[in-house]
Amino acid sequence: MKKRAFITGITGQDGSYLAEFLLKMGYEVYGMVRRTSTLNFERIRHIQDQVTLIPGDMLDQTSLTNALREIHPQEVYNLAAQSFVQTSWVQPVFTGDVTALGVTRLLDAIRTIDPEIRFYQASSSEMFGKVQEVPQRETTPFYPRSPYGVAKVYGHWITVNYRESYNLHATSGILFNHESSRRGYEFVTRKVTHTAAKIKLGLAKELRIGNLDSQRDWGFAGDYVEAMWLMLQQDKPDDYVVATGVTHSVEKLLNVAFSTLDLDWKQYTVQDERFMRPAEVDLLVGDPTKAGQQLGWEPKVSFEQLIQMMVESDLQLLKAEHNL
């Protein structure tokens, strides 16, 4: 019998990589999609005939309960979220409803339908915010700096609480930033690689950007979804930091992306107040020792390789779009 996995957020960056990975591992893959007036299956188009899509929404308890009753999965990966930090200041209540309360809705559906289901919660390094320790590990206290970060702290603790209250196999993966050519265009890595490629092709003149000094521990999304799966294969549920252990500034990101295209970033970059945040997370760097020792997980793609890969992919994408 094939194992069945249910992924919320399958149309997102991580959902698409996780679905690919689970298919390769021989799973039957089910993904939840919310109703939209136009389809947004771009990231899963290449595997759409191999996965089963179930309509539903993190805001709607009935759809979550019915999905579990219909699928009877052994594993549930909760990747759905309003995931963009900047938007969380504009839509703080919505972000809390989807990204925080949505986790309770799904956990409660699991508790009611089948408490044997193994559950993965997509927690975030944004929970560390104004960091209390460097590098950040599983025991580092949280100090979130955005409505998104606050919502993720709730999601983390409700996962721990359902594990302890109802003995669920519920795990919180605290993942540091991870990127790819499928990353949303609003995140800084993709914004930089896509705009740099546009500038190279003469399709844009400048890049408008916010804080150049903040530092992130950037890894490759394809590596990180393997850690999610490994967590659910453990006998006991737990919490794990997943990171590369190396941090870089936004300025370094600009440097690597533009120099990949033989361009000088300083000539094309304009700082713009619009992209500054009301409260910033200055430095994130994770300590993935526990994931290494207990899961046998380690990142394969370096920061430089990741950014070069994204630049190259955006260049090809733009050439195809513009017949260049």
The answer to the question of residue 96 lying near ligand NDP (CB under 6 A) is no
Is 42 a known active-site residue?
no
Interface residues for ligand GDP in 206-225 (CB under 6 A)?
209-211, 214, 216
Number of residues written out for the chain: 324
125 labelled catalytic: no
Are 240 and 136 a contacting pair, CB within 8 Å?
Answer: no
133 belongs to the catalytic site: no
Cβ contacts of 228-231, under 8 Å, gap ≥ 24: 228/14, 228/18, 228/77, 228/120, 228/122, 228/173, 229/18, 229/21, 229/22, 229/25, 230/291, 230/295, 230/296, 230/297, 231/120, 231/171, 231/173, 231/295
Q: Could you say which of 28, 75, 126, 226 is catalytic?
A: 126
The whole-angstrom separation of Cα 120 and Cα 294 is 16
Q: Is 124 in the site for ligand NDP (CB under 6 A)?
A: yes
- Least separation in angstroms between residue 51's CB and ligand GDP is 27
Q: Which is nearer to ligand GDP, 17 or 176 (CB)?
A: 176
Q: Which of residues 102-131 bind ligand GDP (CB under 6 A)?
A: 126
Is 286 among the residues that bind ligand GDP (CB under 6 A)?
no
Query: Is 218 in contact with 303 (CB distance < 8 Å)?
Result: yes
247 binds ligand NDP (CB under 6 A): no
Do residues 206 and 270 touch, judged by C-beta distance below 8 A?
Answer: yes
The residue from 63, 83, 124, 146 that is catalytic is 124
Stretch that binds ligand NDP, among 53-61, 65-73, 233-241, 255-263 (CB under 6 A): 53-61
Largest Cα–Cα distance of the chain, in whole Å?
Answer: 58
> Closer CB to ligand GDP, residue 118 or residue 145?
145
Selected binder of ligand NDP within 4, 5, 6, 14 (CB under 6 A): 14
As annotated, the active-site residues are 124, 126, 148
